[in-house]
């Protein structure tokens, strides 16, 4: 695609099977854990996207060796772990707009120590990292802001861990806690390290992913509910040998919603009953709206069952996939309210504001609050040119307004800057075209 926009015609029916790309959240966590571990790790089905390219490039700059092997069934990345000791003690790292890369890497570099600078695209310099840096510096690391306090870019120098307890806010981004959990074994050399969570922890399913992967790399984490986490001393990350990356459950949401809106059945492969990702719960939200959902160990299928029903629910546990519910709400039989989604405001863009603006273009009446959005569907959708705000999920979500639902017509839609999907799903529009009849 050489154009800066993509035109989608109205689609009468969707049906088919989509093999999902690897999960972004799992991919970048596994890359860092593999790099920090002892031994060789073979990573199967790592996501190929902007965000993982950023992490792979950063690891290479730090002296971590990895190779990529193409096989008949897919790609295997072979990473040689450095057992917590980075070969390169100084590096200048460009982190793009990858929150899943910069936050854990900041924690790792701060704890290991050296002379490192981390920076990204302008939007990255507006995404908060202060709570993480405060927690690290209170523990004895040496992280400085070189721009606005509380935000990247950062300069990391050698510090000394002087504490056995850290505390971090849980209500801005779960990635701060994820970052601390991933580096806690590096801190717990002689003493146990306990991380206390201040306030309510949002996006708990993402912490479940983190804990699951840390344990797969041989480190035990003791939990006191969601209030505190303790890592006993002397534990070292060990290679699990071969590790598979699940399909991306957030990416699954667009195809499942397409099946629920545009007939179906649409099946996604790569996630299912056995998934460690919280975003598979998106399927339950669609079922609540009246879609017919079936599920196996490694697949989920959705089909329409008449017009969708309006929903009023708390989406704190699936903030990324919840964006797709805001689009499904256009096809519902009344106003829908998505609650407890304040974290949308500090993502790739301010997603509450962006979503409200673009939903109004297609004819919806939208009420926007600090942590909620209420969508009243129009009688029919209007053709519109959708701005994507350099946010992959905006582009993928709004592709769905080209679908004809049971009760109202979809509309021809122009998506500006469609290439922003490269962040997590470069082949998205090709996959969408395959199920669109």
The string of pLDDT tens digits covering residues 6-48 is: 999 999 999 999 999 999 999 999 999 999 999 999 999 999 9
Show the DSSP H helices in 4-49 as ranges. Answer: 24-36
> 197: domain range?
24-244
Is this model's pTM higher than 0.95 or not? no
Q: Is 409 annotated as a binding residue?
A: no
- Residue 15 neighbours by CB under 8 Å, 6+ apart: 259, 263, 264, 265, 266, 435, 437
- Residue 104 neighbours by CB under 8 Å, 6+ apart: 28, 29, 32, 175, 178, 179, 182, 183
Residues 349 and 430 in one domain: yes
Other C-beta atoms lying within 10 Å of the C-beta of residue 15: 17
Q: How far apart are CA 9 and CA 401, in angstroms?
A: 10
Residue 434 assigned to a binding site: no
Q: Tell me the CB-side half-sphere exposure of residue 261, using CA atoms within 13 A.
A: 33
How do 292-295 and 242-244 pair as beta strands? Answer: unpaired
Q: Are residues 13 and 162 in the same domain?
A: no
Mean pLDDT of 177-184: 98
Q: What is the per-residue pLDDT across 221-279, written as a single tens digit (0 to 9) for each?
A: 999 999 999 999 999 999 999 999 999 999 999 999 999 999 999 999 999 999 999 88
Catalytic residues: 320
Residues 281 and 429 in one domain: yes
Report the CATH number that the domain containing residue 350 is assigned in CATH: 3.65.10.10
Asked whether residue 393 is marked as a ligand-binding residue, the answer is yes
Contact 419, 388 (CB under 8 A): no
User: Which residues are within 8 A (CB) of 332 and not within 5 positions of it... i.e. 6 or more apart?
Assistant: 289, 307, 308, 309, 310, 311, 377
Q: Is 165 flagged in the annotation as binding?
A: no
Domain boundary, last residue among 244, 274, 303: 244
Does 220 show up as a binding residue in the annotation?
no
Residues whose CB is less than 8 angstroms from the CB of residue 398 and which lie 6 or more positions away in sequence, other chains included: 327, 358, 386, 388, 413, 415
Which of 193, 211, 244 delimits the end of a domain? Answer: 244
318 and 214 housed in the same domain = no
Query: For residue 2, what pLDDT is reported?
Result: 47
Q: Is 312 annotated as a binding residue?
A: no
Regarding whether 315 and 208 lie in a shared domain, the answer is no
Regarding whether 258 and 237 lie in a shared domain, the answer is no
Q: Dihedral, CA atoms, 59, 82, 275, 128, nearest 10 degrees?
A: -50
How many structural domains does the chain have?
Answer: 2
Same domain, 73 and 216: yes
Rg of the chain over all Cα atoms, to the nearest angstrom: 21
CA 432 to mean position of chain CA atoms: 20
Instruction: Assign 408 a pLDDT band (cuts: 50, 70, 90).
Output: confident
- Statement to judge: residues 181 and 309 lie in one domain: no
Tell which of 244, 278, 298 closes a domain: 244
Same domain? For 213 and 339 the reply is: no
Structure tokens at 346: 């500090």
Which residues, in sequence order, are CB contacts of 282 under 8 Å at separation 6+?
249, 250, 252, 253, 256, 318, 321, 322, 324, 325
Cα dihedral sign, 367-255-342-314: positive
């Amino acid at each position: 695609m050489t154009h800066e926009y993509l035109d989608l015609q109205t689609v009468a029916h969707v049906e088919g099977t989509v093999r999902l790309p690897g999960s972004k959240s799992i991919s970048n966590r596994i890359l860092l854990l593999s790099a920090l571990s002892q031994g060789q790790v073979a990573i199967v089905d790592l996501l190929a996207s902007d965000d993982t390219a950023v992490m792979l490039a950063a690891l290479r700059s730090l002296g971590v060796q990895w190779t990529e092997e193409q096989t008949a069934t897919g790609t295997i990345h072979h990473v040689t772990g450095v057992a917590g000791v980075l070969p390169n003690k100084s590096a200048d790292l460009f982190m793009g707009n990858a929150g899943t890369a910069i936050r854990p890497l900041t924690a790792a570099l701060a704890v290991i120590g050296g002379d490192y600078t981390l920076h990204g695209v302008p939007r990255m310099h507006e995404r908060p990292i202060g709570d993480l840096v405060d927690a690290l510096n209170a523990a004895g690391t040496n992280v400085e802001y070189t721009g606005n306090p509380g935000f990247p870019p950062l300069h990391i120098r050698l510090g000394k861990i002087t504490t056995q307890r850290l505390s971090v806010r849980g209500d801005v981004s779960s990635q701060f806690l994820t970052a601390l959990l991933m580096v806690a074994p590096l801190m717990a050399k002689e003493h146990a390290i306990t991380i206390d969570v201040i306030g309510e922890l949002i996006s708990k399913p993402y912490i479940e992913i983190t804990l699951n992967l840390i344990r797969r790399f041989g480190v035990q984490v003791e939990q006191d509910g969601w209030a505190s986490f303790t890592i006993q001393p002397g534990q070292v990350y060990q290679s699990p040998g071969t590790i598979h990356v699940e399909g991306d459950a957030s990416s699954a949401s667009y195809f499942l919603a397409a099946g629920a809106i545009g007939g179906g059945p649409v099946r996604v492969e790569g996630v299912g009953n056995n998934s460690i990702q919280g975003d598979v719960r998106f399927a339950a939200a669609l079922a609540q709206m009246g879609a017919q959902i079936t599920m196996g160990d490694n697949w989920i299928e959705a089909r329409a069952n008449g017009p969708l029903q309006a929903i009023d629910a708390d989406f704190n546990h699936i903030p990324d996939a919840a964006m797709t519910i805001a689009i499904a709400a256009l096809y519902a039989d009344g106003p829908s309210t998505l609650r407890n989604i304040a974290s949308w405001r500090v993502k790739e863009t301010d997603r509450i504001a962006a979503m409200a603006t673009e939903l109004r273009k297609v004819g919806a009446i939208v009420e926007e609050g600090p942590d909620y959005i209420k969508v009243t569907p129009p009688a029919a959708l209007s053709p519109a040119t959708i701005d994507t705000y350099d946010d992959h999920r905006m582009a993928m979500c709004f592709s769905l307004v080209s679908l004809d639902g049971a009760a109202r017509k979809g509309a021809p839609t122009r998506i500006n800057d469609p290439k922003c999907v490269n962040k997590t799903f470069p082949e998205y529009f090709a996959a969408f075209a395959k199920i669109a009849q």
